[in-house]
């Protein structure tokens, strides 16, 4: 009889924990979905946030910080590609050099501004930083006549920055 009660208690506790875990995971997915619905690139937003292990435990401010970190990572990748292309494509030296300056501005000014402002609770300055990153990526592309060799990368930075700005705007 005692074993039966212990077994029943264990079973009920296990079921409770399983259901609770499911509800927590479901609510995290709902926060990401609800947040991303208010951005210009829903699918990219969901994919990007779900790729980061911090997302399940993040609130909206945390999701904004994660998205800014994603912009930083994509900007770093793009700047590294620009540096490689500068060695391989001397005919594009001028626009690539201008792009390197744009991406340096993203990494040394726009992103740090957004991160610091988010940590201090100043959503407006954080949004300005994210929008500045988007504008710098657009400026880079404008340096080329037509399609640039980094169009895909610049688009990823531009779209991610727009997503970050939209998420940050939810904090205003």
Q: How many residues does the chain have?
A: 172
What lies within 8 Å, CB to CB, of 77 at 6+ separation is 153
Q: Does the pLDDT value for residue 161 go beyond 90?
A: yes
d(CA 71, CA 51): 13
First CA to last CA across the chain, in angstroms? 59
d(CA 87, CA 100): 13
Q: Does the pLDDT value for residue 19 go beyond 70?
A: no
Confidence at residue 24, expressed as pLDDT on a 0 to 100 scale: 38
pLDDT band of 8, cuts 50, 70, 90? low
What are 149's two structure tokens?
A: 């060799």
Q: Does the pLDDT value for residue 11 go beyond 60?
A: no
All structural domains of the chain with their residue ranges? 30-170
d(CA 127, CA 37): 18
Write the pLDDT tens digit of every residue in 21-66.
443 344 467 999 999 999 999 999 999 999 999 999 999 999 999 9
Confidence at residue 4, expressed as pLDDT on a 0 to 100 scale: 57
d(CA 155, CA 141): 9
Top pLDDT among 115 and 20 is at: 115
pLDDT band of 160, cuts 50, 70, 90? very high
Confidence at residue 135, expressed as pLDDT on a 0 to 100 scale: 99
What lies within 8 Å, CB to CB, of 62 at 6+ separation is 54, 55
The DSSP call for residue 172 is -
Q: What are the Cα distances from residue 73, in Å, to 68, 79, 103, 106? A: 9, 10, 11, 11
Write the pLDDT tens digit of every residue in 54-113.
999 999 999 999 999 999 999 999 999 999 999 999 999 999 999 999 999 999 999 999
d(CA 158, CA 89): 24
CATH for the stretch 30-170: 1.20.140.40
pLDDT band of 145, cuts 50, 70, 90? confident
């Amino acid at each position: 009889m005692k074993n039966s009660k212990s077994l029943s208690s264990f079973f009920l506790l296990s079921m409770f924990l399983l259901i609770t875990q499911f509800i927590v995971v479901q609510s995290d997915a709902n926060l990401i979905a609800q947040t991303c619905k208010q951005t210009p690139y829903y699918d990219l937003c969901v994919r990007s946030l779900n790729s980061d292990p911090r997302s399940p435990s993040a609130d909206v401010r945390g999701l904004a910080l994660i998205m800014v970190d994603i912009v930083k990572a994509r900007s770093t990748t793009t700047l590294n590609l620009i540096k490689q292309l500068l060695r391989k494509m001397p005919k594009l030296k001028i626009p690539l050099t201008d792009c390197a300056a744009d991406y340096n501005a993203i990494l040394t000014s726009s992103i740090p501004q957004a991160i610091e402002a988010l940590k201090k609770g100043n959503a407006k300055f954080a949004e300005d930083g994210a929008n500045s990153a988007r504008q710098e990526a657009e400026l880079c592309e404008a340096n080329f006549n037509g399609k640039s060799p980094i169009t895909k990368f610049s688009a990823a930075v531009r779209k991610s920055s727009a997503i970050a700005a939209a998420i940050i705007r939810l904090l205003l």
